[in-house]
Structure 1
Amino acid sequence: MLKRLFWLGVGMAAGVVIVAKAQSYVRAHTPDGARQFVLGADQDNVTVRTLAALWEDFNDARERRERELSERYVTTPR
């Protein structure tokens, strides 16, 4: 179990580094108009915005699944 968590963490860290490097490459090698199309108007906080959106999507999915399981398995006393 700990090995899986370790490799999951390594994979996530590698993903963040790769995305950051790709964004800096795009920022350095594209004209401003194309950069704004790809990265948006706020180009300095793309990584933070992306991680925040992923976290929000994860929480939404978790809450939906929790409600679904609660409706299915939690019985209300009569």
Structure 2
Amino acid sequence: MFKRVIWIGGGVVIGVVIAAKAEAYVRANTPKSAREFVLGTDQDHVAERTLSSLWGQFRTIMDSREEELNRRYIDRARSARH
């Protein structure tokens, strides 16, 4: 289990470093119009917007899955009573 945590943590760190390097490369080597197309008009808060969007998607999926499981178990409990 500890090895998995190390590998996942390492993967996250490598992913963040690669994303930061890619963003810096895009900022340094692309024209403004192309950069705005890739990063959006608010280029100073790309990471925050991305994380916020990912968190929102995660919460939406998690809430829908929780609702599905609750519905399934409630239906199972009701059918067991009858």
Say whether the fold is shared (TM-score over 0.5).
yes
Instruction: Report how many aligned residue pairs link the two structures.
Output: 78
Question: Which position in structure 2 is the counterpart of 1:19?
Answer: 19
Deviations 1:8-64 (A, max 9, x none): 122122111111110110000001111111110000111111111111111111111
% same residue:
53
TM, length-normalised to structure 1: 0.87
TM, length-normalised to structure 2: 0.83
Q: CA RMSD in A?
A: 1.8
Letter in 2 for 1:18: I
Point out where structure 2 has 5 or more consecutive residues left out of the alignment: none
Runs of 4 or more, structure 1, over 2 Å off, are: 74-77
Q: Quick one: distance in 1 between partners of 2:16 and 2:54?
A: 12
Per the TM alignment, residue 2 of structure 1 is displaced from its structure 2 partner at its CA by 2.6
Q: Rg: which structure is higher?
A: 2
Q: Quick one: distance in 1 between partners of 2:60 and 2:2?
A: 26
What secondary structure is seen at the aligned counterpart in 2 of 1:37? helix
Letter in 2 for 1:32: K
User: Higher helix fraction: Structure 1 or Structure 2?
Assistant: 2
